Copies of this chain bind each other. A is one copy, B any other.
C-alpha cells in the first residue's frame, strides 16, 4: 500500500471518528442538558448522523482501501486498525441505510418514551416500543447473520467474538456458586446499622467529594468533566474530552461516591489510550466487558475496600461534620458492603449484582428466541426476581422499566456487565501480585502505581488485541468466574463470618 493510499485510509478513519464522536455528543447532551421538547428534533438529528456514518463506513472506496491494506504487511498497530475497521464495515454493509435510520429513530424515541413511562410507572405506554425494538433487533440479527442463535449476532456488537452458549455456561456456574454465598450471608447475622443511618448529606458537599475523589485517582479535568444525569454514564467526545455523570441521593452519599468511581473507571480507560491511536479504530476498548472491568475495579475492588475507606472516612468527617459522628472506617466499610437482595441493579451490592444481570440476560435471550412475548415481560421479570433474589417490585418503575437499555435497543449489552465483574477480579489478582503494596498505596492515597499499571497494560493498547486475549496476556487467565468467587468469599466471608463449605 503506497503512502498516499494509507493517508487516504487514515482520513476516512478520522472522518468516521469525528462522526461517531459527534453522535456521542448528541447523546450526552440528550441525557444531561437537552430541554424536554428537544427530543423529537434530537431523534432526527441522531438518525441523520448515524445514517451518514453508516454511508461513509460502507462506501466502496473504503472497502477497497481496507482490502488493499489487509494484503500488506503492516506494523501491529496499523494491522489492528485495518482488522477492527474491516470487522465494523463487514457488519455495517449488511444493514441498509433505511434500516439504520429506522433503528436510530426507534432508539432515540424509545428512550424518550421510556423516561416518561418509568416516571409514570406505566408499562402499557412503553410496551409498543419494546415490541417494535424486539422486532427490529431480530431483523438486525438476521441481517448480520448467525447460525440459529440470533442473540449471538447482537452480543457480538458489544463483546466481539463472545458466544451466547459460552455466556450461558459461565453464567450458570456463577449463578450456582453465587446462590450458595447469598444463602450463607442470608443465614448469618446482619451487619449492624451504621451510626450515620438517617443523617442527611447535602448535595453540594457530596458533589465536592466526588470531584475530589476524581482528582485524587487521576482523572484529568482538563480533558474531561463530570455532570449529573438520571442514569450515570461515561462517554467519549474526543480523546481529550471524556464526560462522566453521577447522581446524588442526600440520604446515601455512598451511592454517588460509588457511581462516580465506577464512571471514573470508564473515564480513566478512555483518557488512557495511546495518543498515537487518536481518531483511529483502535482508540477504543476491544470489548464492553473489558471496559466494565475498569469501572468495576475502581468502584468495587478499590472503592469498596477497607484501605480506601481508611483514606476517605476522615475526609467525610471533615466535609460532613456531625452527620458522620461516631463512624470510623470500619463502619463505613461495612456499610458500603452490606449485602441485601434488592430491586435496583445499579444500587446492588457486589454479591447480588450479577443476579440482576442474569435475570436480564435470560429475559432478553428469551425475547430474541421468540420464547417470550414482550407483553409477558413484566410477569416474567417479577418471576425471575422472585426466583433469583426473592424480591418483588411493588411497581413496574422499579421493575421491568428500571433500565434504559431495551428502550434504545441495546439487547446483548447486559452480559458485558457480568463479564466485566469477572475480568475485574482476574485483573485484581494479578495487580496484587505485581504491586505487592497496592492496598497500602490506596490507604495512603497513592493511586499512581495502580493507574500506571492499568495504563500500561490495559488502557494504552486500546483495541490492539481482542479483549479476552489481552486479559490472558496480562494475567494468564481468560474469562472465568472462579477468581471473582474467590474474591467474594474472602471479602464477605470475613465481613459476615461465613465460610465456603468444602
Contacts and interface: CB of A to CB of B under 8 A. Distances in A.
A223 to B, nearest CB: 4
Interface string A1-38: 00000000000001100110110011001000111111
Contact of A224 (B35, B40, B42, B45): B35
A334 B116 CA distance: 48
A148 interface: no
Contact of A240 (B18, B37, B220, B278): B37
A49 interface: yes
Given A15-B48, A44-B14, A35 B222 contact: yes
B29 A238 contact: no
B21 A22 contact: no
A358 interface: no
A52 interface: yes
A227 B238 CA distance: 22
A364 interface: no
Tell me which of A33, A47, A220, A223 has the highest count of chain B C-beta atoms within 10 A of its own C-beta.
A33
B19 A48 contact: yes
Contacts of A227: 33
Contacts of A239: 41
A241 B25 contact: no
A91 B40 CA distance: 30
The quantity of this chain's copies bound in the complex is 2
Given A36-B222, A38-B237, A241-B38, A45 B21 contact: yes
Nearest to A221: B35
Contacts of A223: 35-38
A117 B29 CA distance: 29
Chain A contact-residue range equals: 35 or more
A37 B241 contact: yes
Contacts of A224: 35
A346 B263 CA distance: 40
A311 interface: no
Interface in A175-219: none
A279 interface: yes
A220 B41 CA distance: 16
Chain A binding surface SS class: helix
A25 to B, nearest CB: 6
A359 to B, nearest CB: 36
A215 to B, nearest CB: 13
Given A22-B26, A25-B26, A29-B29, A41 B222 contact: no
A405 interface: no
A10 B361 CA distance: 42
A237 B241 CA distance: 21
Contacts of A241: 34-35, 37-38, 41-42
A388 interface: no
Contacts of A237: 29, 34, 38, 41-42
A228 interface: no
B33 A45 contact: no
A403 B238 CA distance: 27
A289 to B, nearest CB: 26
B41 A225 contact: no
Given A25-B29, A26-B25, A38-B223, A18 B48 contact: yes
Contacts of A41: 21, 237-241, 278-279
B18 A49 contact: yes
Contacts of A48: 14-15, 18-19, 22
B225 A45 contact: no
Tell me which of A34, A37, A220, A279 has the highest count of chain B C-beta atoms within 10 A of its own C-beta.
A37
Contacts of A45: 18, 21-22, 238
Interface in A223-244: 223-225, 227, 237-241
Tell me which of A35, A48, A223 has the highest count of chain B C-beta atoms within 10 A of its own C-beta.
A35
Nearest to A29: B25
Contacts of A37: 220, 222-223, 240-241
Given A25-B29, A34-B241, A37-B240, 11 more contacts: A14-B48, A18-B49, A22-B26, A25-B25, A29-B29, A37-B220, A37-B222, A38-B240, A41-B241, A42-B238, A52-B52
28 contacts: A14-B48, A18-B45, A18-B47, A21-B41, A22-B22, A22-B26, A25-B26, A29-B29, A33-B33, A34-B237, A34-B241, A35-B221, A35-B225, A35-B240, A37-B220, A37-B223, A38-B223, A38-B237, A38-B238, A38-B241, A41-B238, A41-B239, A41-B240, A41-B279, A42-B237, A42-B238, A42-B241, A45-B238
Please list the 6 inter-chain residue pairs (A to B) with the smallest Cβ-Cβ separation, ordered nearest first.
A41-B238, A38-B241, A37-B240, A18-B48, A37-B223, A18-B45
